[in-house]
Amino acid sequence: MRNIILAFPGMEQLAKEIADEISADWAAIDLHRFPDGETLVTLPEGLAGRSVAILATLRNPDALALPLRFAAETAREFGAHRVGLIAPYLAYMRQDRRLEPGQAVSAPLFASFLEESFDWLLTVDPHLHRIPELDRIFDIPARRVTSSKKISEWIALNVPDAIVLGPDSESQQWVSEVARLASSPYEVLHKSRSGDRTVDISVPESGALLNGTPVIVDDIASSGRTIVAAIARLREIGARPPVCIIIHAVFASRAFTDIQKAGAARIVTTNSIPHESNAISLSPCIKRAVSNLRKVLDLPSAGTLQGGSNGTESGQET
């Protein structure tokens, strides 16, 4: 019996691409929002005995978390053999320690919340800070896919004179990899944050920044303040308007418009979150993972995913 991918609203095209990769079926999940804020989840028929992958990006996690759990549990009620989650954007990963007294540490709490309904997880470039791998917080098989190869290919094709810029010191490892794959030089900016929307950026002294096209690569743009501040500093030193590449197009409030007005030459994102700026498809990026998804979906038990410790796949797919 063929596996099936069930897509949350907005994820239908990516579901089709993934299904084509693994010779699976796909169908849409219907979410009806009542005036009081409750959600009615409706799944397709014919799930009995099948392995199910639910595809949902968690751009608005508070609004989607309960419908996500409802969908997974309803699939089991209808006889699904195994239920996994493909979350190209995985929320609640940044809060990995208690910074002030009384704060909730949301990363492990959200991981436990998902584990109650899903047998495995696949995500793309999670926004991890002090958590080195997903297996530190997930007890189910959890695979992280990286987008660096597809981003570097886009840069090489569209910005041949690129100077790749990382927004802060934490980005150096993956920005250097993007630059290496694109055969481009790179620099890392220095960031200090004093609030959700207050960011200061310093730009290293480098003649290369004036001789090429700056390409700012960031994993997530929520408020957009980091990129706006970086663009302002680049303008001050006389650099060209930068191309901004963002993996996860969260774009809270006016963030996208603010980055445009700040002077970005172009804003490019992956399709981990549907947005008008999507130009880099994650379907090829996660091909190595999803082409083998049939084996993941048909796991005899939750703890036997190849390559992981403690039952968890901790490796990366590029």
Q: Tell me: the pLDDT tens digits for 30-84?
A: 999 999 999 999 999 999 999 999 999 999 999 999 999 999 999 999 999 999 9
Distance CA 305, CA 297 (A): 10
**Among 150, 82, 152, 70, which residue's Cα sits nearest to residue 113?**
70
Q: Are residues 133 and 14 in the same domain?
A: yes
Residue reference for tokens 């730009």? 203
Q: How many CB atoms lie within 10 A of CB 98?
A: 10
Q: Domains in the chain: how many in total?
A: 2
Q: Are residues 234 and 266 in the same domain?
A: yes
Inside any domain, residue 276: no
Burial string for 306-315 (b: 16+ CB within 10 Å, else e) reads eebeebbbbe
Condensed to tens digits (0 to 9), the pLDDT of residues 183-214 reads: 999 988 876 655 545 556 677 666 678 889 99
Q: Are residues 120 and 28 in the same domain?
A: yes
Residue-number span of the structural domain to which 214 is assigned: 148-271
Cβ-in-10-Å burial (0-12, 13-18, 19+) of 85 comes to buried
The CATH number given to whatever domain includes residue 123 is 3.40.50.2020
Half-sphere exposure (CA, 13 Å, Cβ side) for 198? 2
Q: Are residues 287 and 143 in the same domain?
A: yes
Q: What is the pLDDT of residue 314?
A: 43
Angle at 161 between CA 160 and CA 164, to 5 degrees: 100
Q: Are residues 308 and 216 in the same domain?
A: no
Q: Are residues 143 and 162 in the same domain?
A: no
- Please list, in sequence order, all residues whose beta carbon lies within 8 angstroms of the beta carbon of residue 237, skipping any fewer than 6 positions away: 203, 209, 210
